[in-house]
Structure formats: C-alpha cells, structure tokens
Structure 1
Amino acid sequence: MPRQDPIGPEFYVPLGTAESISTIAFYLAAVLSIAVLLIDNASQPHLYETVQATFAVSVVAFFLSSIVIRTYFAVRAHSNRVADFVSNAFSVPLVPSPSEGYYNTTATEPYLRMGASVLENTLFTKSILRRMLRFERTRICFYVFAWLCAALNRTTDLEVLAVIAQVLFSEELVSRWIRMEWLRSRVERLYDDLYALIQSTTNFETKEFRARVVEGLIRYETSKAQAGLSLSTRLFKKLDADLSRQWTALSSQLGIGSSSATGP
C-alpha cells in the first residue's frame, strides 16, 4: 500500500515553521539582551536605542509565537493526528482525509490495532528522542561549562552573568533538555508495558486488554502534550528505514504484522 499522510503536510509543517520562527526570535533576543549591556548609551546612543528596540520586538515575537504554538498550531496538529489514529484503529473516517499506510499492522481487531500502533509509535519516538538527546546533552554541557567559567571569572560583569543565566535556564535550553529526558523515560516505560501486554495476552477481546490499550494511548498522548516537544523530522527520515526493519521484526515476533514505515 502506498503511504499517504495528509496530516503531516497540512498540520505539522506549519507547526514546524512556527517553532523555527520562535527559536530564531529566542536566540535573537538572547544575543541582544547581552549586547544591550555591552553598548555604552552615552557614546553610542543611536546604536543603543536601535538594539533596545530590536530586543523588545524580538522578546514580544518570541512570547507571541510561543503562545500561538501552544494554543493553536500544536493543539491542531496533535488533535488531528489522534483523530487519524483512531480512524485507522476502528476504520471510521474521523478526519476528511485519513492517512493510508502510515500505521503498520495487519491486525483486524480494533483494540489490538490500536495497541500495536501505539507500540510502534513508542518505538519510533524513544529512538528519535535518544538521538535528539545526543545533541541536547552536548549543548547543555557546553553552555553550563561556559557559564561556570564566566561565573568563576572575577572580571565578568554580574549583569552579563545574570542575563546568561536567565537564557541558559529558559524554556529553550535547560527546561527543554529536562522535558526531553522526561519524555524519553515515559515513552520507554510505556513501550515495555505495551510489549509485555501484547506478548502475554491470548484473548484480545477482553475488557482488561482493551482498557489497558486505551490507558496506554492516553499515557502516550498526555506525555507528549505535557512535554510540549516536537520530534525531529530530519532524524525521523534518517532513521525511518532502520526503525521500520526493527518494527517488522518486532511485529512478526508478536504476531501483529506490518506493512510499511510509520513515524511518531
């Protein structure tokens, strides 16, 4: 079956664009917040005013973009993905253009299809997060080391040091890394739980199995929502082939089948 995913281009591409704009605004504000402290207002008043105005605009742009992402772009994308997910599990079109070939299981029982799809999503998500964390951990270590060096240097201006600390411990740096570590831990635990559930269940029509599958779906979606992170599209494309092979082997082992690649 050819893979068609209308949800990605229609909802996740705009989300990615909005997040890129927000990131640019954050780093611009971070650089300008330090530049303002280094420019002498008395000797360079015009440059100082220009930097101050640009800094104010970038701060407002970052604030507004973050709010719009959280309340519109992210909610819209995640809601449509969940609706598409349920459409696939129960063969009921809850979205105008359901995806085809995006979820990989040949199981026919709706709740087993749902459990298999969540298991597949957790496989992709935890693998992509592990790769994303390589960069995040390196970046945080570098920034923390640089900040400590500046803090231990007696010649460093305290105002500059305070601004750097504010940037470092913001939503975009340390907070983002902590949320990424937390999400990875949650998804890995859910992956193990779902694997054990499907492997140990012989009757997939029991109320207990169905309840645990629904609970697994809720855990997965609420964890992503609480973390407020988007997975790297670049890493997904890079890891897609290898993770698809892993999923094929895993689904065959569990007897739930697979057909083509999918993603988180």
Structure 2
Amino acid sequence: MTTQAAKIDPIRDRFFTPLEIAELWSARLFFATIVFSLCVAYFDEPSQKSLISTLQWIQVVAVLALFTLDIFIRLHLAPRAHDARAQDFLAKAYGAPLISQQTSGYYNHAQTDPILGLAAQLFENSLFTKEIVGKMLRRETVLIAIYMVIWAAVFSNRDVQLSWIALCAQVLFGEQILARWLRMWWLRQRCEEVYKQMRTLYVNSPAPEKFAVTALDAYTKYESSKAMASITLSSKIFDKINPAVSAEWELHRKDFGI
C-alpha cells in the first residue's frame, strides 16, 4: 500500500478561509433580510407604523451590506483565492514557483514532463472535485426539497396572503438557494466531463501533440467551470473523503503508470 504524504495547504488558510467566512456572512445577511421582510409583513398594521418603519430601515441597511459583501466576494476574495490555487497548480506541473506559499502532498504522480504533470494533476483534481461537489450537492438537494415543499404548501393555500407567497418565492429563488443548487449541479456535471475526458485520454494514449492539446483543453474547461460556478469546495467533506478518493487515485496511477 502506498503511503500518502501529509497534505499541507497554506493557500486554503490564507485565501479560502477568508472567502468561506465572507460567504457565511453573506448567507446570514440574506436570511436576515428575509426575516425582516417577514416581520414587516407580520406587523403590517397602522398602529405599529413606528415599528414597521424601524424594521424597514434595518432591512435597507442589511440589503446594502449584503450587496457590498457579495461584490467584495465576487470581485476580490473569490478571484484572489482561485488565482492562487491555479498558480500553485501550474507551479507544481512546471516546477517554476508562481506563488510563495505552495501546497504539499496534494499532487501525487511521478511525472517530470510539464504537460504530463499537468495532465496527471488535472486527472487527480477532477476526481476529487467531482466527488466533493457530489457530496455537497446531496446535502443541498435535501434542503431544496424541503424549501420546495414549504413553498408549494404556501402557494396552494388560498388563505395565505400574496405577500407571504412572494416572500417564500424570494427565499427559494434567491441566489443562496435554488440558484446556488443549480450552479453546484452544473459544476458537478462539468467536473465529471473533465474526469471522463482525462481517463479516456490515458486509455487511448494518443500522440504527444494530441495528448498535450487535449489536456490543455480539459484544463481550460476545468478552470473556467470553477470560475463560472463560484462554488467554494467544502474542506470538511474533503477531509472526510480524502482517504477513499486517494486510494482510488492510487489505482488510477497504477493502471496508467502515472
């Protein structure tokens, strides 16, 4: 049995941990705006005008804070983190450090040629990413199902006010719920495609030029998919599935002489 090297990831601590914290606060602010909307709808009486006005102002502040935080995430934290990850990936493949802090024990292969190293790393990365996103998707699917049942129950009840139906729709079809699930599902499909493409590449073992251009095409698809989906992979799920997926990767290495 091959002994797996200890995995050290300073990039996650430096770049992805702040991103995860910001995304957590973004989710909290999103649900806070929903709560304030519910409170405004619930206390919608002339005698509670002062309370409603206060809640509305708090809601405005929460919405502005959510907008600012989401822009900060999309335009700074997320690109910075993904750039660092891509730089580490290329540094390992080409042996030319692009970033001062690099991972250790994450790319397991014996390739010395840059293209062969890139292909091996992409094969391994796509395997891990599709498994991690798959686990995340299962959990999110359960939540989506619960939200769908609640929304359908509210929508089908004629005694419920239209404002409450609108709020339930806002929760379900907001960026944090259904849109996130769809982006996660799409990323899982794309990573599965890249994984199959890389496995087929090693099975067919084409000429060096065809091997190189196919590997580079798959790498472009992999990176662009992660950027468009904007899904931060769960470190907890990675730690949980790491032994099993690493063992699967070792079988791939043995089968294809990587």
TM over 0.5: yes
Give the counterpart letter for 1:186 in structure 2. Answer: R
SS of the residue 1:102 aligns to = coil
Q: How does 1:164-175 map to 2 (within 5 A)?
A: 164-175=168-179
Give the counterpart letter for 2:256 in structure 1. Answer: L
Q: What residue is the counterpart of 2:115 in the other structure?
A: 111
Q: How many pairs are equivalent?
A: 254
Q: What residue is the counterpart of 1:261 in the other structure?
A: none
SS of the residue 1:93 aligns to = coil
Q: What residue is the counterpart of 2:249 in the other structure?
A: 247
CA RMSD after TM alignment: 1.4
Alignment pair present for 1:195 and 2:199 = yes
Relative to structure 1, the CA distance from residue 90 to residue 24 in structure 2 (aligned partners, 3 Å threshold; closer, same or farther) is same
SS of the residue 1:43 aligns to = helix
CA distance, structure 2, for counterparts of residue 150 and residue 8 of structure 1: 41
Match of 1:152 among 153, 156, 167: 156
Q: CA deviation at 1:2?
A: 4.5
Q: CA deviation at 1:64?
A: 1.0
CA distance, structure 2, for counterparts of residue 2 and residue 156 of structure 1: 56
1:167-215 CA deviation, whole Å, 9 max, x = no partner?
Answer: 2111111111111111111111110110110222165xx2221111111
Q: CA deviation at 1:41?
A: 4.4
CA distance, structure 2, for counterparts of residue 116 and residue 51 of structure 1: 55
Q: What residue is the counterpart of 2:224 in the other structure?
A: 222
TM-score, normalised relative to structure 1: 0.92
Q: CA deviation at 1:44?
A: 2.4
1:46-83 CA deviation, whole Å, 9 max, x = no partner?
Answer: 43233212211211111111111010000000011101
CA distance, structure 2, for counterparts of residue 121 and residue 237 of structure 1: 14
Q: What residue is the counterpart of 1:259 in the other structure?
A: none
CA distance, structure 1, for counterparts of residue 93 and residue 141 of structure 2: 37
Give the counterpart letter for 1:154 in structure 2. Answer: R
Q: CA deviation at 1:125?
A: 0.9
1:15-61 CA deviation, whole Å, 9 max, x = no partner?
Answer: 11111111111111112112111113422234323321221121111
Q: Where in structure 1 are there 5+ consecutive unaligned residues?
A: 257-264
Q: What residue is the counterpart of 2:125 in the other structure?
A: 121
CA distance, structure 2, for counterparts of residue 51 and residue 120 of structure 1: 50
Give the counterpart letter for 1:182 in structure 2. Answer: W
CA distance, structure 2, for counterparts of residue 126 and residue 3 of structure 1: 19
Q: What residue is the counterpart of 1:17 in the other structure?
A: 21
Q: Where in structure 2 are there 5+ consecutive unaligned residues?
A: none
Q: CA deviation at 1:142?
A: 1.1
**Seq. identity, %:** 37
CA distance, structure 2, for counterparts of residue 31 and residue 186 of structure 1: 35
